[in-house]
Amino acid sequence: MPTLAVTVTEFSRSLSDFLRQVQYHGQVLDIARGKRVIARVSPVAVADGFPIDQLDAFFANGPKLDADRETMAKDINDTRSQLRSRSSHWRG
């Protein structure tokens, strides 16, 4: 989507409409005073989850569970005890 150039006056008079375009349509605005661009309004880049193309690397480089059941159970219990040690109003 090409950048939309607007004057300060246009931007101030239609602020809500311009911000709606930025939020819902990904529009980028260049705001000009005279012939000079003084500001740019653009959508905030928000990470939406984990990129699927990086899952293989995540699992390949992540922690490994021991094949031994007792060691695995100990690892799980150690992790649970660390979670319980944090204070939270949700836990009794």
For residue 43, what pLDDT is reported?
A: 92
* Separation of CA 26 from chain center: 15
pLDDT reported for residue 40 = 96
Three-class DSSP category at 68: coil
Model pTM greater than 0.75? no
| Nearest alpha-carbon partner for 7 in 28, 29, 26, 33 | 33
Give the span between the Cα atoms of 75 and 60, in whole angstroms: 19
Contact 18, 41 (CB under 8 A): yes
DSSP three-state, residue 87? coil
10-residue mean pLDDT series, the chain (92 residues): 93 96 94 96 80 80 74 83 62 50
pLDDT of residue 38: 97
